[in-house]
Structure 1
Amino acid sequence: MAVRTASFLLFGLFATFHTWGAWANMEMNMEDRVEVYKGDTAQITCMFTSSEGIGGTIIQWFYVTGTGEKQKIYYQDSMSQIVDRATQFTERISVNGTGAPGRVVLTIRDVQLADETEFICLIKGLTDGASEGRTKLKVFGTPDLPTIEGVQTGISVSEVSPSKIGTCEVKNGFPKPNITWYRNNTPLQSVPDEVEVVPSVTSESSGLFSVTSELNLKVVKEDKNDEFYCEVSYFVPGGTRMTETHRINITVFYPPTAVNVWVESPKGDIKEGDSIELHCKDNGNPPSSIISIKRLEENDIDGQSHESDVLVLNNVTSRDSGVYQCTSIDSDTFEPMYGNISVFVHFLHAAVVTPQDTIVVAHGEEFTATCNALSSLKTQAVWLKDGEVVFKGHTLTVKDATFDKAGMYVCVVTVPEIEEMETRGSILVNVKGPPEILKPDNTEIESYDTTVDLSCRVRGFPAPKIIWSTSDGQDLEMASEMMTEDGLQSRVSIQVTSDITASCNASNDHGTDALTFNIKTLKAETAIPPKKIRKEGSGVIIAVIIICILLLAILGSVLYFLYKKGKICGRSGKQDLTKDKSNKDNIVVEMKSDNTEEAVLLGVNGEKQSPNEQGGAYLDVQK
């Protein structure tokens, strides 16, 4: 009896220190757990060894119910294979293997969440006894993608308790997924009175779990740029997986700590004539709606106020320079805050030229003029004459004054640092001296006209007196006289019928000068045009022409006969007549009609002749 008791004790110790159990010569081995997704197929393998043959082995499969009881679902011996009826696995399981290789596989199709339990494989032999192995079936369901929703309203930093930031949710997972909140990549844990993470789990009718997590936070101003998101971790066969939501921001309301004032336009330096746009805003969120801008006059902090966050000043002058103050009033505490900006308007006053207006200098002497303009910035000046730069600098010095150097000088003052800042002044320089007539290109004039226009430009100061006269001592009346920068320009119109000489005489207190024009008249060769023949007399004209042609033919015949006989030109012989035939013995008739009015030249025997051969007499037939 004592020996049997000892044997049982040794057997118990042996079973305790091994993952498989055996009685007699039966040995068994099974996996601790099998993991599978919901809806997939699970296979649980039972491995055993036995010294008995096939016919002496009985195989049974069980599962553990929710109350911890064993429920048989399958039985097999050498004669039969039986699936137990009325269990949750009856229609979804199958077992393969006869036991000969020592391997039996239980297959469960369309695994459901309720199938997650422990399965038992029991092997009995006729002489080896019985052996039992267990495997846990783990079922997993991949959850839907998580969602996050932030609060749509702003959160004030003045709130005493933590305020809701947002909610994360993940649905239909198994086992229960976990949600972790992050702020700027840092996980958030619950901290009393600062951070609260409130999870909730819902078990769906499908057996899956939905998890919701709410984040409450006591916000500070620095949270206005923070990013919040959720990380969801869930179990899968063989490990865990993670997925993240998109990131959200929150709107944080906080009181202002400073007031900013700035010049929105123009950018850069401000000059007279510009329009200034001043903007004002505090750094609170939301900005204060009670805000104003005003200019602080010297010794007067109650300058005129503009009840808006924008102040526009048009066509500013240097008088608009000064300090502008913006006042913001907190809508909660009604405490004012101030911000100031200094505005400076650059100016360039009108150019001042010394001497003013006009300067008179003697011929050959030196003159000096200065040009300056009061400005807030450094200036530069150039002097122009007739649109060309003649000097650079504020002081113009001209030596050896001549009439060429007389005229209008324009001083242009600019500010190099700012474009379009410019002012101008001018001075008229008169060089006193005897008159000097500018000689034109041609004083020898030939004209077909009966009226000739002459022009005389005279330089000199004082302005010369100009008198026009002719060679016969007659004074001419001027057509016009115009002042120029350095003297006068005079014009005269002369009626000419023959060659004439006209003089321009200029004089002032310092001397005289004169210029003579020789005018030669040209007479055009004009022919007396024939009288027009009236159309109703054209028949008479034709008859006359025919008679003339007949007479000419007769005359030509007579002359030809005499030529053959040697009776003309005081010579005899054919040779002399032939020599002068083309030059002297041609008889030409010019016939004109009112239709063509062109001459038809006919030679002897009615032949047409060229203009070079027209050496004979002309007959002009006219009505």
Structure 2
Amino acid sequence: MGQSGCPLRGLLLLALIGRPGCLAVVQISVPAQVEVLLGSPVTIPCTHSITGSPDARLVEWFITDRDGERQRVAYSEGGRGGVDQSTEYSGRLYMDPDLSLVLPKADVSDERAFSCQVTAGAAGSAEGVAQLRVYEPPEPPELTANSGILSVMERSVSEIATCSSRNANPAPTISWFKDGARLEAPTERNDDMYVVSRSVKEASGLQSVSSTLYLRPSKADKDAQFQCLVQYPLPQGQVGNTSSEHFSLVLHYFTENVEFMLESPLVIKEGDDVRLRCRGDGQPEPEYIFYRVQASEAVELATKQDGVLTLPSVSRANSGTYRCQVLDFDSPPEVQLEKEVIIHVNYLDPLTLHPGRRVTVPLGGDVTLTCSGQGSQPPKLVWRKGKERVAHGGTHTLHSVSYHVAGTYTCEASVPSVPGLQRDQTVQVTVEGKPEMEERPTQHRLLAEGQRIQLTCSAMGHPEPELSWSLPGVKPVVSGTGNRVTSEVMVEVTASLAKSEIWCRARNRFGDVTQHFTLEIEPPAATPSSSPPAVGGSEPQGGSGAAVVAVVVCVLLLLLIVGFFYCMQRRGHLHCGAREKRSLTPKEGGAEDPAVEMKTDKRNEQTGLLSPSGGGGGGDGGHEC
């Protein structure tokens, strides 16, 4: 804001009246600071007013060039104006109708002071200054981390990383973070931590900065995450920021602690693959030497880089003490670099059976099966036949054995506290003696001769019985499973066969047993079937079904005949009875011709199947039903 007036030459009123222009004043308003993003248009206003009776008004815009000289760049007077030539702003700016200065595209070089001066003749002049600020956010930060191995045993700092931020205006600031916490790193050099910053002004006028972090790392930094943060100002007092990617350090530090453990399985049995893992907290990963300790003597087993020792398909002989030694020559002498672990391999010996794996028992006798086993822990024993559990414990007794109890019995041994540790052993029990016939149908009823029937005979015994039939000329089909033998024959039934004795006999060295069959042929039906049906589960010729159909048809025909005579009698076509005689001779018969008379007993004629009431009584010459 500025104003000007005429110098007073005394206090004479006449003099003041003689100079009326001395009462004119120029007032001007220009913003102290104008902010704009690089490449954006910007307008710098110049608001002014003149009181009194102003003369011609002149508005001018000035800059201070690189040589420090004041230089006009635009003007307006009496409604006419323009842009001064031969300046750095020729063709880059103009004045709008409000006499404001307009830059269509702001550049970094435009960051300077612009002065607006208004001159009104005798009223004097006034001037306002605006400072133009041009902002440009930086490019994403570039991070270059130290990829080498940093030793924690060094006594001085190491270069950790360099963070660069390019092409910004004003210059951004860079700070460092570890695990999300800001590192208060000084700029003075020391043996713990400091930063070195650099700033470069690019040919474009933009600024690039870099910051290098120096740090003496410790073992606590082995898992730390580092990053840099770039902050930069923006118009209207805002602050922008952008972060680099995280990075970690590759450190070299000595081993302080050793861990040696059984990794898998936690409960070991014979046949398992066992993994022992040894781990030291040094970096880089040290070498590991594994030993088997026996009678205070250590036998080297292997040297591993990954710290894993695998014992394939272990047996009880692998039980014992194992030792791991970490090879780290940077560790101080007080650090214990050896650890031991003891493993125990569970086992189960083969089972012992009594009387043996094959047992023969006489039919009706008793036998006791005994199973025993030993191992690292007492096993649990059960007996099974097939999938069925038949006994708990190591003893199973069979009383009064029959052929049905013969078969394979399995003794199973397991240790519940050791999953998968189990054994089994089988016993084949054979029951021997005289054959026994299995119960099967022995009586068969047949509808007619000529039918074919299948007869089955099944016997159990050991040694395996031989089956024979009383039927000559037949070829039986014999099959056997275990101690059971089955024989089947197909015969055609005849009357003589039905009357004969039919039997099947089973025989072995202990004796024989006979099974008899009875065949019975039913009387023939009223309407015999055209072909004899088959017996024994299938009836290819009609069978008993055809006989039933024939009986039903006969009954229906009989009912129809009875109904027919009944209806005829009711209509008068048939006489149920008559008192007169009926002559069977010609109307004119001779004396020599015999005469046949039919006399009906009244009561007998009226009592019968065709009488509707079942009683007598009727008029002369009438019809009765």
> Fold match, TM over 0.5?
yes
Say if 2:468 and 2:506, in contact at 8 Å, map to a contact too: yes
Q: Deviations over 1:165-220 (max 9, x none)?
A: 21111111111111112222212221543222211001112221111111122222
Q: Which moves more between the two structures, 37-46 or 415-424?
A: 415-424
Equivalent residues, number: 461
CA gap 1:406/1:117 in 2 versus in 1, 3 angstroms: closer
* 2:109 pairs with 1:111: no
Q: CA deviation at 1:124?
A: 2.3
Say if 2:256 and 2:331, in contact at 8 Å, map to a contact too: no
Show the counterpart of 2:379: 379
Show the counterpart of 1:217: 215
CA gap 1:124/1:485 in 2 versus in 1, 3 angstroms: closer
SS of alignment partner, residue 127 of structure 1: helix
SS of alignment partner, residue 109 of structure 2: helix
Show the counterpart of 1:162: 157
Q: Which runs of 5+ in 2 are unaligned?
A: 1-6, 12-21, 443-456, 471-480, 488-500, 518-625
Q: Supply the distance in 2 between the matched residues of 1:467 and 1:233 (Cα, whole angstroms).
A: 106
Query: Which amino acid in the other structure matches residue 299 of structure 2?
Result: G
Q: Supply the distance in 2 between the matched residues of 1:469 and 1:183 (Cα, whole angstroms).
A: 100
Q: CA deviation at 1:304?
A: 3.7
Query: Which amino acid in the other structure matches residue 166 of structure 1?
Result: A
CA gap 1:502/1:232 in 2 versus in 1, 3 angstroms: closer
Matching of residues 376-455 of structure 1 within 5 Å: 376-377=376-377, 379-385=379-385, 388-400=388-400, 409-418=409-418, 420-425=420-425, 435-439=433-437
SS of alignment partner, residue 286 of structure 1: coil
Say if 2:172 and 2:233, in contact at 8 Å, map to a contact too: yes
Q: CA deviation at 1:340?
A: 2.7
Show the counterpart of 1:138: 133
Of the three residues 270, 292, 297, the one matched with 1:295 is: 292
Q: CA deviation at 1:303?
A: 2.6
Q: Which moves more between the two structures, 115-124 or 50-59?
A: 50-59
Say if 2:56 and 2:121, in contact at 8 Å, map to a contact too: yes
Say if 2:24 and 2:50, in contact at 8 Å, map to a contact too: no
Q: Supply the distance in 1 between the matched residues of 2:145 and 2:351 (Cα, whole angstroms).
A: 66
Matching of residues 602-617 of structure 1 within 5 Å: none
Show the counterpart of 1:59: 59
Q: Supply the distance in 2 between the matched residues of 1:407 and 1:96 (Cα, whole angstroms).
A: 116
Q: CA deviation at 1:129?
A: 2.1
Show the counterpart of 2:310: 312
Of the three residues 226, 229, 249, the one matched with 1:228 is: 226
* 2:48 pairs with 1:42: no
Query: Which amino acid in the other structure matches residue 172 of structure 1?
Result: N
Show the counterpart of 2:257: 258
Show the counterpart of 2:562: none
* 2:242 pairs with 1:247: no
Q: Deviations over 1:4-38 (max 9, x none)?
A: 7999xxxxxxxxxxxxxx99622222111112233
Query: Which amino acid in the other structure matches residue 285 of structure 1?
Result: Q
Query: Which amino acid in the other structure matches residue 198 of structure 1?
Result: V
Q: Supply the distance in 1 between the matched residues of 2:255 and 2:404 (Cα, whole angstroms).
A: 72
Q: Which runs of 5+ in 1 are unaligned?
A: 8-21, 98-102, 445-453, 472-483, 492-498, 520-623
Q: Supply the distance in 1 between the matched residues of 2:79 and 2:169 (Cα, whole angstroms).
A: 41
Query: Which amino acid in the other structure matches residue 165 of structure 1?
Result: I
CA gap 1:29/1:399 in 2 versus in 1, 3 angstroms: same
CA gap 1:62/1:300 in 2 versus in 1, 3 angstroms: same
Q: CA deviation at 1:73?
A: 3.0
Say if 1:414 and 1:421, in contact at 8 Å, map to a contact too: yes
CA gap 1:6/1:43 in 2 versus in 1, 3 angstroms: farther
Say if 2:437 and 2:458, in contact at 8 Å, map to a contact too: no
Query: Which amino acid in the other structure matches residue 321 of structure 1?
Result: S
Say if 2:54 and 2:121, in contact at 8 Å, map to a contact too: no
Q: CA deviation at 1:258?
A: 2.7
SS of alignment partner, residue 175 of structure 1: coil
CA gap 1:5/1:391 in 2 versus in 1, 3 angstroms: farther
Percent of pairs with identical residues = 26
Q: CA deviation at 1:241?
A: 1.7
Q: Supply the distance in 1 between the matched residues of 2:36 and 2:441 (Cα, whole angstroms).
A: 123
* 2:89 pairs with 1:92: no
Q: Deviations over 1:86-115 (max 9, x none)?
A: 322233232244xxxxx5312234333233
Q: Supply the distance in 2 between the matched residues of 1:72 and 1:23 (Cα, whole angstroms).
A: 29
Q: Supply the distance in 2 between the matched residues of 1:105 and 1:273 (Cα, whole angstroms).
A: 94
Query: Which amino acid in the other structure matches residue 413 of structure 2?
Result: V
Q: Supply the distance in 2 between the matched residues of 1:443 and 1:126 (Cα, whole angstroms).
A: 147
Q: Supply the distance in 2 between the matched residues of 1:469 and 1:89 (Cα, whole angstroms).
A: 133
Show the counterpart of 1:171: 166
SS of alignment partner, residue 99 of structure 2: strand
Q: Deviations over 1:585-614 (max 9, x none)?
A: xxxxxxxxxxxxxxxxxxxxxxxxxxxxxx
Q: Deviations over 1:303-341 (max 9, x none)?
A: 343223443333321121122211111044596712333
Q: Deviations over 1:123-180 (max 9, x none)?
A: 2223322222211122223322222122222322222222222111111111111111
Q: Deviations over 1:552-587 (max 9, x none)?
A: xxxxxxxxxxxxxxxxxxxxxxxxxxxxxxxxxxxx
CA RMSD in angstroms comes to 4.6
Say if 2:431 and 2:461, in contact at 8 Å, map to a contact too: no
Show the counterpart of 1:28: 28
Query: Which amino acid in the other structure matches residue 123 of structure 2?
Result: D
Q: Supply the distance in 1 between the matched residues of 2:458 and 2:78 (Cα, whole angstroms).
A: 148
Q: CA deviation at 1:82?
A: 5.4
Query: Which amino acid in the other structure matches residue 251 of structure 1?
Result: V
Q: Supply the distance in 2 between the matched residues of 1:263 and 1:91 (Cα, whole angstroms).
A: 83
Q: CA deviation at 1:500?
A: 12
CA gap 1:118/1:402 in 2 versus in 1, 3 angstroms: closer
CA gap 1:96/1:376 in 2 versus in 1, 3 angstroms: same
Q: Supply the distance in 1 between the matched residues of 2:398 and 2:155 (Cα, whole angstroms).
A: 85
Show the counterpart of 2:70: 70
Show the counterpart of 1:278: 276
Q: Supply the distance in 2 between the matched residues of 1:117 and 1:180 (Cα, whole angstroms).
A: 29
